[in-house]
Amino acid sequence: MQNHLTLSQLQKLVKATLDEAFALPVWVSAEIAEIKINYSGHCYLELVEKGGDNGVPLSQARAVIWRTAYARIAGYFEAETGQRLAAGIRILARVMISYHELYGFSLNILDIDPTFTLGDMERQRQITIERLQREGVWDINRENPLPQVVQRIAIVSSRQAAGYQDFCKELGKSPYAFSLTLFDAFMQGAGAEDSIVAALDAVADRMDDFDAVVLIRGGGSASDLNCFNAYRLCAHIAQFPLPILTGIGHDKDTSVADMVAHTALKTPTAVAGWLVERMTGVEGWLDTAALQLRDNVLVTSRAQELRLQELSSHLLFHAVSSIVPSAAQVLTIVFGMGTGVSLSLIHISEPTRLQL
């Protein structure tokens, strides 16, 4: 055909159309799927909109924050949200639409609104809470009986995490012999939720070996800790057959995982201190019980001793009483009339002695 466009001509038409239609920046919401900063300081992102069938995104686009703007945008975002720009979070970005004949469609990010991200995380958190309460599993883990002596402990944490090391050191300083078994898991990042759920499933397979589960990690940003607000993980915790103690390491907000766990403490060290304090209480109770037992034994022993003495006296009395009639046969005392008393000796048998 004579009337046709070359590829470059088509690309230029697309570019001109986009430039005309989107001459000014627009606000776009999306989730960060990938993010990396190259050696030049430019930040490259892959943005997606989820919701497609079988986990396939509805939409996807490349984006960039040039180094001249990256420090300002990232610094402000972290100051407001307490987290860095990272994969897995949703953002509201002010972008210029760009189209290049070789590199195609992309977005140039000029600004990011941190309040959108905070609002989205809180919205997801509230959805999880409402769903767990609606399904009637909110209080199940708290209803699991916690043994008086919590000594056999399954730990769900990362082997490399500082929080795990702090927990072990704190227990190691105590005089009690705790039995600790680590179920290693990722505690942050895109794979954290699946990893923690898998670790809990591994604990459930050996639940008769443990008194309780400790779920711990050190502090982190809101994004790092956001998996502890995810429905799937929190539903696992809520319905877990053993009591779960959490020490997720945040000082501000309480995660949904904390809310549905049997006992929630702020840090891994606080969990260890709580366990040691509980053992100290049990030891004190045992000491008190031992003293009471000793006192009760002494009182009972003294009472029985007095009873034995009483029974011995009664036995002696009855023994003497049984001898008295025989003595009457030995000596008959006949009281005479008048001034004299005559004793008539009837029978004396050995070894009876009569003293006058």
pLDDT in tens, 13-49: 999 999 999 999 999 999 999 999 999 999 999 999 9
Going by pLDDT thresholds of 50, 70 and 90, the confidence category of residue 223 is: low
* Helix axis angle, 268-330 to 162-172, nearest 10°: 20
pLDDT score at 81: 84
Going by pLDDT thresholds of 50, 70 and 90, the confidence category of residue 82 is: confident
- Please give the model's pTM, rounded to 2 decimal places: 0.67
- Burial state string for 72-97 with b = 16 or more CB within 10 A and e = fewer than 16: ebbeebeeebbbebeebbbbbbbbeb
d(CA 216, CA 164): 7
Q: Which of 99, 217, 227 is nearest to 167 (CA)?
A: 217
Statement: residue 339 has pLDDT above 60 = no
pLDDT score at 354: 40
Task: Evaluate whether 126 touches 229 at the Cβ level (below 8 Å).
Answer: no
Statement: residue 342 has pLDDT above 80 = no
E-only strand ranges, 74-114: 90-100, 104-112
pLDDT score at 324: 57
